[in-house]
């Protein structure tokens, strides 16, 4: 990178950071001057508490509990959503089979079925993973469905013309051609997985970040609540960045994945 490019990039980054930093400084000053409600703890105090919880391993314990639920549900929901979505996208009868049930249940907020799932699966991880699975299924299913439906007919014709059997057409044409939209579904699904996990833990759990927020509220320990929020924010952000990087790699060369690759 040339010096000029470096400075121009640094300037852009600095511009983006200006507002959050100013807000943090204002927050810190007003918290120290003492004229704010008790839930607005100084950022320095929040950082200190977060650091304490991190070093004792308590924060990591709750984070890993949440991660198991979020990623467990994500894996199952995404696998089911992508498989069924792609199949529905290439076979009309499969689409007709799924369409009514998906259309009916899609707008239902998935968290409301948690009590039913708890009655059925108990209050352990299984019911939470199940509700996350349900939440992740829809965006991955719908995006995969439209990804597969939108595959240019000529791509499929060319493949058949070149002697490809149906299974090769699916794996080597339908799948890569739908990939951009499948990845969009995966990204939306990941955010939902974290949201629904924390929501489920706030409703009924004995550990996890959602549980941490609820106990912090009960005991008026707002510093702990912020620690949980920070942890949830960090894993959500890291997961999303990871997916964005994967997407860029997977779509290398395609126009849609080309930002930055050639210029």
Half-sphere exposure of 141 (CA within 13 A, CB side): 21
In the region spanning residues 176 to 215, those forming contacts with another protein, defined by CB under 8 A, are 176-177, 179
Q: Per rule CB under 8 A, is residue 237 in the interface with another protein?
A: no
Nearest to another protein of 188, 251 (CB atom): 251
Segment interacting with another protein (CB under 8 A) among 61-69, 76-84, 231-239, 252-260:
252-260
3-state helix, strand, coil in the chain (%, to 5): 85, 0, 15
Pick the binder of another protein from 157, 166, 233, 242 (CB under 8 A): 157
8 A C-beta contact, residue 197 and residue 69: yes
Tokens of 96: 């007709």
Rounded alpha-carbon distances, angstroms, from residue 1 to 4, 14, 15, 263: 8, 18, 20, 12
Q: Per rule CB under 8 A, is residue 100 in the interface with another protein?
A: no
Segment interacting with another protein (CB under 8 A) among 50-58, 113-121, 163-171, 241-249:
163-171
Segment interacting with another protein (CB under 8 A) among 4-12, 93-101, 137-145, 147-155:
147-155
Q: Total residues contacting another protein (rule CB under 8 A)?
A: 24
Return the closest-CA partner of residue 197 out of 107, 127, 143. Answer: 127
Pick the binder of another protein from 12, 165, 206, 241 (CB under 8 A): 165
* Distance, CA of 3 to CA of 9 (rounded, Å): 10
Pick the binder of another protein from 76, 155, 170, 243 (CB under 8 A): 155
């Amino acid at each position: 990178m040339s010096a000029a490019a470096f400075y121009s990039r640094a300037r852009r980054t600095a511009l983006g950071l200006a507002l959050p930093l100013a807000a943090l400084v204002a927050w810190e000053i007003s918290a120290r001057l003492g004229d704010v409600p008790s839930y607005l703890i100084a950022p320095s105090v929040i950082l200190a508490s977060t650091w304490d919880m991190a070093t004792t391993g308590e924060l990591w314990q709750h984070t890993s509990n949440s991660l198991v639920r979020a990623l467990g549900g994500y894996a199952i929901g995404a696998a089911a959503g992508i498989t069924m979505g792609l199949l529905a996208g290439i076979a009309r009868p499969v689409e007709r089979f799924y369409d009514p049930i998906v259309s009916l249940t899609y707008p239902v907020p998935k968290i409301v079925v948690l009590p039913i799932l708890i009655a059925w699966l108990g209050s352990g991880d299984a019911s939470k993973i199940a509700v996350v699975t349900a939440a992740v299924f829809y965006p991955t299913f719908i995006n995969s469905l439209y990804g597969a439906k939108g595959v240019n007919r000529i791509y499929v014709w060319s493949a058949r013309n070149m002697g490809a059997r149906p299974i090769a057409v699916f794996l080597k044409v339908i799948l890569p051609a739908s990939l951009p939209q499948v990845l969009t579904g995966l990204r939306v699904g990941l955010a939902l997985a974290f949201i629904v996990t924390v929501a489920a833990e706030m409703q009924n759990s004995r550990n996890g970040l959602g549980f941490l927020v609820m106990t912090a509220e009960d005991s008026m320990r707002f510093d702990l609540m912020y620690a949980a929020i920070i942890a949830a924010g960090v894993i959500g952000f890291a997961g999303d960045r990871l997916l964005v990087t994967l997407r860029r790699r997977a779509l290398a060369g395609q126009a849609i994945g080309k930002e930055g690759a050639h210029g």
